[in-house]
Chain A
Amino acid sequence: MIRTQISLDPKEYALARREAKSLGISVAEFVRRAIRDQLPANGGSAPGAPSGAWMRYAGFVETGNPRSSASVDEIVYGSKD
């Protein structure tokens, strides 16, 4: 791994720390994941980067609903879980 230093807005740092804690990971790991999420799925020449063609579909829609996967029945069958 390459060691680097970044500066964060205090509010964003607090939010990142809270989110990392809820996921049970370090802030550093949280930041690494955020970076991975923003990088092109196949872009990488980075070692270990996923190169499968199917990964280009990751997040190809954006419903704006954080409970999207939990409300599939509601959308498909018109009933609430």
Chain B
Amino acid sequence: MNKKGDVSLLFKWIFGIIAGAVILMFLFKFAGIHIGGEQALEGNKFLVSVDDKLDAFGIGEGSDIFDLKDEFLLGVQCGEFSVNEETSENYFARETDKVVFAPSSLKGDNLHVWTKKWYFPYGVTMFFYLNNPQNRILIVSDANKIEEVGNFVKKIPQHFSVQVTTKQLFNPASFSSQAKGSDKITVVFFGTSTYSVNDLKSQYGNNLNIEIIQVNLEDNTAKIYDNYGGVEDVFFLGDEMLYGLIFSGSGYECTKDIALNRLNTLTRIYIEKVNRLAGKTSETKCVDSLVQSRILLEKYSTTLTKNEFYSLMEQIEKQNNKLEKEGCTTIY
């Protein structure tokens, strides 16, 4: 055997393997960078696309089901959308100016959307309600309130599949099959709650996210019992906000604050508008009414309590009607 030829062949093999390995490493690295970049782009594109779709849809009131084309985990935090788990390297978040009431996470390939304008007493902003079939909402009413509650629920688009029953007929066991494939169940009691989160957990299992909301319609207040044993006292201003409470559960308070902030901005605009209009009006009765309106609006802009909000809202509404009857320029 030719020893020189052996060495040359061995050298060629070693050289080939090293060169091949270097080329392969380069290709893997290239593929890795490319996939990472595409995922980042895809994640951001998805968020921009959802935000833009909601922007376009939110021009008017209505409801629809958005087909997301692929399965996504959409997070809805206070004034922020995100995609994927927070611990994942493909996690992306994007701030939004919209007032969105939704469960904190929505997993699936479609998104149920409902938009409704919030008036208090003037139009403040469009509310966005988001959900998907993985998050179930069950409404349980006292028998004497079933008509009122039924009318309230009737306005929720049917594809949201919100179910209504009376307290007497409510049996957690009969919802076990629906609970099985779900991520979250929100049970909303209009009146006092007859079950605790732990009662429902023993029925449906500990893995399911369960929240109970106890609504007091007389007082416009509610108690939220979250999945981790926390209890929160909240209030709502109008039916639109109550829908928001039902859809968002424990994430309600923060979104409500964004809405109140928006109300404050609108009120500041109306104060300024009324002030300027009073300066342009020559009729004394109109000037007086506009000055009165400004005083009411100024009080409204500094209000923090629920009762004051309701009381001033009614007074501003009356004042606006009075201005209209007097033939003066109205507040809104």
| A pairs with B | no
Binding site for A on B (CB under 8 A): none
